[in-house]
Amino acid sequence: MIGNKIPKRLEELELVLKYDTECTPILKVHERFAINQERAKLFANDFSYSQSEIVETKIKMALSEIRKNDWHPLNT
């Protein structure tokens, strides 16, 4: 990570995982695993990981719902 700044993508992925757990389950186990793989790469400053089209679509859909409903996780 650049300095102590958390990349926006990392924050978004964490939010999607929390949304999937706390609100509306939309991800399958292997999709959650893929998101966590990307998160691990981002923590290591490796930005080379790319999601499948299906997972990326689900991430975008979840982020859209989160913003539309102004949803916030329980434990922030």
In a domain, 75, yes or no: no
pTM (predicted TM-score): 0.89
In a domain, 73, yes or no: no
In a domain, 33, yes or no: yes
In a domain, 43, yes or no: yes
In a domain, 35, yes or no: yes
CB-CB contact of 62 with 26 (8 Å): yes
**Number of domains present in the structure of the chain:** 1
CA–CA dist 4, 2 (Å, integer): 6
- Domain assignment of residue 13, given as a range: 8-68
pLDDT by position in tens, the chain (length 76)? 555 567 999 999 999 999 999 999 999 999 999 999 999 999 999 999 999 999 999 999 999 999 999 999 987 6
Look at residue 75 in the predicted model and tell me its pLDDT.
75
In a domain, 63, yes or no: yes
* End-to-end CA, the chain: 21
